[in-house]
Amino acid sequence: MPDLGLIKQAEQDSEGESDAGRPRDRIAKVLARAGLCSRRDAERWIAEGRVTVDGTVLTSPAVLVGADSDIRVDGKAIPQADRARLWRYHKPAGLVTSHRDEKGRPTVFDALPKDLPRLISIGRLDLNSEGLLLLTNDGALARRLELPATGWVRRYKVRVHGEVDPDRLAALAHGITIDGVAYGPIRAGLERIQGSNAWIAMALNEGKNREVRRVLEHLGLQVTRLIRLSYGPFQLGNLERGAIAEIPRKALAEQLGADGPKWAVHADRRR
């Protein structure tokens, strides 16, 4: 495990401590971090009596375990958790950002190479959105990077149909409330007009569910294409559609150091 700022904090995001002062985590979290399943699946496995700790069959997920615990699933010892890793993925339109879809639609994870560990997304892109999606093998890291408090800016370019009012776009910098949902400041500007369509550049911190689409629809604009260009310091760049690339360990350390989130905001403001 790298002793590096945010990565170290994420990997040591403990639920408690043992009498010896060593970190202890909930069993479902440990199983998920080992790459075996999601936390929800882990809870289901426990309910089915498939998980033992130190020879005892668990009946509840409300159990803390430590590094010295003998944890087994179906009688087999779980693998040691990998270090926190991060990937850039160029999500095409038409894929769902979830491990399962009740409608049977293809998912991002169905499309990934089979030799990758079990990954989870950092934030989401809806079915028809495309562009940069960050993926990680570490749930604690994902949750930390999704928090608005992290300060990371998400940048998008959006094609819309309709008449764009630059003044209304500029007013989004003060935030907006739509149907009782408050959205934080959004930096938005008209880039170019192509016939009856226009391209808009947008930057925001929160990334609430379908935020870009809902805000633009509120302004009377129909979104016809939505592409995420960056998430914090990580860029889509020239990554081909459908391609995935792991962020090198050294680059990850540089960007996720103690000042990484603050740097991301300042860098975006300089653009």
Which sequence positions are flagged as catalytic?
Answer: 126
Using DSSP bridges, classify how beta strands 197-204 and 154-161 pair: parallel, antiparallel or unpaired. antiparallel
The Cα–Cα gap between 72 and 77 comes to 4
Residue 150 to residue 265: CA distance in whole angstroms: 10
Please name which of 106, 148, 105, 156 lies closest in space to residue 132, comparing C-alpha atoms: 156
Contacts of 170 (CB under 8 A, 6+ apart): 188, 189
Please give the Cα distance from 100 to 97 (Å, whole number). 9
How many C-beta neighbours within 10 Å does residue 174 have?
9
Contact of 87 with 118, CB cutoff 8 Å = no
Q: At residue 40, what is the residue type? A: R
For residue 174, give the DSSP letter: G
Buried/exposed code over 61-100 (b: 16+ C-beta within 10 A; e: otherwise): bebbbbeebebebeeeebeebeebbbbbbbbeeebbbebe
